Structure 1
Amino acid sequence: MDKALRGKFGKLLARYRVTKGKGFRLADHDPADTAGLDYSKAEARELLARGTALLAEEQSKLYAQDQWSVLLLLQAMDAAGKDGTIKHVMSGVNPQGCDVFSFKAPHAEELDHDFLWRHVRRLPARGHIGIHNRSWYEEVLVVRVHKEILARQKLPDAVRGKRLFDRRLEDIAAFERYLANQGTAIVKVFLHISRKEQKKRFLERIDHPEKNWKFSSRDVAERGYWEDYMQAYETAIRATAAPHAPWYVVPADNKWFTRLVVAGALLATMGSLDLAFPTLPAEEKAKLAEARAKLVAEKD
């Protein structure tokens, strides 16, 4: 990886990476923070382009090595920029080695299984990057805020109770430890948007016809639960932040900055995996040399 660029990203990431949940406070993180950087749009695009090019190189090694998998979990309030982040950060990767899944409300078959079931089915294979646009954390976020959703989950009375969400967080933490032990590098991102910026983006979606499709009246209704959601996010991050499954609390009020930090988080994670193209044993290299000699000797 480009050492200079890695250094720039590294300084950013330490500011937003959370590996220990104890004492974590969401209020300590400013959604408008840019770490003192003041890039022009052109400068930000150029830096992101360099990052996505490096990401494509790392993905090629990941795919060829076929040992590790990388899982990016994206969580955010509405309009924080999940789709745009995926589009811009992953613009240079090979689609054959990258799988993106957007999780909506569970359907009937999924409700007949445990809450992790549908996510397990979409985990990335070795050599692949998997991106989950919303994830199993919805079960301790939206379900915690809207507890009426539990009525549709068919849970036995014996497993309900005051500690249901605490137990779910314990299960998630244990599952992420399991994934890490199996060779899945986990990157968890919370795009931290302010309520003020969300309002601005909602108004843009309403005022611009080409963006109307992005808006739902439910989005405004959910703003009424803002503090409940912030508390749910804070609780989830406290319970599940770990060195093997860190959270990145990424400021989301400035899209250019959001994309740089997410690209940096992926680059840092993949750079830590010692990825390399496989080297052939001597006998296979001899076969390559023999094949080359035959090709060179052919008459065109």
Structure 2
Amino acid sequence: MNLDDYRLTGNRKIDLGEIPTTEGKTDENEKIRDEVIPPLVDRLQLLHQKLNAEEKHGILVVLQALDAAGKDESISYIFSNLNAQGLKVTTFGKPTEVEQKHDYLWRMMPALPARGEIGILNRSHYEEVIAPRVHDNVLLDGDYPAGVDEESIWPMRYKQIKNYEKYLHDNNIHVVKFFFHMSKDEQKRRLVERMKDPDKQHEFSFSDVEEREYWDKYQEVFEDMLNETSTEYSPWYVLPADDEWHTRRLVNEAMIDLMEKLDPKFPEMTGEDKKKLEEYIEKLENE
């Protein structure tokens, strides 16, 4: 796969309506699941082990989409295979009363990975430039700096988010972002499937259907978000989410691509530690 076909780095503007939600890969689901993804997961596991052992770089993964687009499944089928000691998952919901008393990026701090970890955000700080715009929510008075109104606050927040992600990148926390681009028809099919299947009804929320009324507004806001916050150091990947297993393959490949560029290595013992190790090996072998 040519990841450049899906990666946005800010060098071009996109029209989200012209980007396909499917590449006709649904018929290949079983082959991708059984033959393509397992070796990719094996490669990702090894790279994660090295990343975790080296403790030089951290990776923050942003998963953003509408309901039923496949975020949870990506976590289940891909990231759950990684070493739990070097993995953390955070799901952002509606800000709590305490969170509303702080700046909108404040609640990001506990979710950030340490060097050596992969942190996964199921929804993220990007909710703060999505939900308020879609629903025309009035932000709190404290959210508006002097001279900023309900229109100018969004370009300001885009700039702040890019600066924040650059700050993380400069401190060896690398942000990679996945947008699950799903069609309205496919979302309907998946929601109906959940609603009719007793074993999946726990995954359904009535708000999932209610939010469909804002579909066009969401697409407009998503497009703006993708165009305004894609950078070379923190790219967005726009995934054809109608093709479930193909999308999971792309997430795997994008993660592998980033980690291979970071080139983590298992630490090697040197000096006195290496000498002591050799002594202890000899000691145990001679018992």
TM-score for both structures, normalised by structure 2? 0.95
Shift of the 169–136 alpha-carbon distance from structure 1 to 2, 3 Å rule, reads: same
Tell me the distance in 2 between the aligned counterparts of 1:173 and 1:157: 18
Find out whether 1:201 has 2:186 as its counterpart.
no
How far apart are residue 282 of structure 1 and its match?
A: 3.2
Tell me the distance in 2 between the aligned counterparts of 1:257 and 1:283: 49
From 5, 17, 21, the counterpart of 2:7 = 17
How far apart are residue 255 of structure 1 and its match?
A: 0.9
CA-atom RMSD in angstroms: 1.7
Tell me the distance in 2 between the aligned counterparts of 1:48 and 1:13: 16
How far apart are residue 292 of structure 1 and its match?
A: 0.7
| Cα offsets for 1:216-268 (capped at 9, x unmatched) | 22211211111111111111111111110010001110211111011111111
Report the equivalent of 1:271: 260
Find out whether 1:132 has 2:118 as its counterpart.
no
From 159, 170, 182, the counterpart of 1:181 = 170
Report the equivalent of 1:56: 45
From 84, 103, 109, the counterpart of 1:114 = 103
Shift of the 199–248 alpha-carbon distance from structure 1 to 2, 3 Å rule, reads: same
Structure 1 stretches lacking a partner, 5+ long: 1-10
How far apart are residue 78 of structure 1 and its match?
A: 0.8
Tell me the distance in 2 between the aligned counterparts of 1:43 and 1:213: 27
Tell me the distance in 1 between the aligned counterparts of 2:283 and 2:51: 31
Say whether the 8 Å CA contact 2:26–2:245 is kept in structure 1. no
Query: Which structure 2 residues correspond to residues 217-236 of structure 1 after superposition, within 5 A?
Result: 217-236=206-225
Report the equivalent of 2:143: 155
Shift of the 40–146 alpha-carbon distance from structure 1 to 2, 3 Å rule, reads: closer
Report the equivalent of 2:245: 256
Aligned pairs, number: 286
Tell me the distance in 1 between the aligned counterparts of 2:71 and 2:136: 25
| Cα offsets for 1:34-72 (capped at 9, x unmatched) | 5x7963504433211111111110011001100100110
Tell me the distance in 1 between the aligned counterparts of 2:2 and 2:26: 10
| Secondary structure, aligned partner of 2:114 | coil
| Secondary structure, aligned partner of 2:111 | coil
Say whether the 8 Å CA contact 2:6–2:237 is kept in structure 1. yes
Query: Which structure 2 residues correspond to residues 281-296 of structure 1 after superposition, within 5 A?
Result: 281-296=270-285
Report the equivalent of 2:90: 101
Report the equivalent of 2:55: 66
| Secondary structure, aligned partner of 2:174 | strand
Say whether the 8 Å CA contact 1:71–1:129 is kept in structure 2. yes
How far apart are residue 120 of structure 1 and its match?
A: 2.0
TM-score for both structures, normalised by structure 1? 0.91
Query: Which structure 2 residues correspond to residues 238-257 of structure 1 after superposition, within 5 A?
Result: 238-257=227-246
Report the equivalent of 1:5: none
Report the equivalent of 1:27: 17
Say whether the 8 Å CA contact 2:29–2:246 is kept in structure 1. no
Tell me the distance in 1 between the aligned counterparts of 2:268 and 2:185: 53
How far apart are residue 114 of structure 1 and its match?
A: 0.5
Say whether the 8 Å CA contact 2:63–2:121 is kept in structure 1. yes
Moved over 6 A (4+): none
Tell me the distance in 2 between the aligned counterparts of 1:237 and 1:40: 28
Report the equivalent of 1:3: none
Matched-pair identity in %: 38
Report the equivalent of 1:4: none
Query: Which deviates the most, 231-240 or 20-29?
Result: 20-29
Say whether the 8 Å CA contact 2:112–2:119 is kept in structure 1. yes
Structure 2 stretches lacking a partner, 5+ long: none
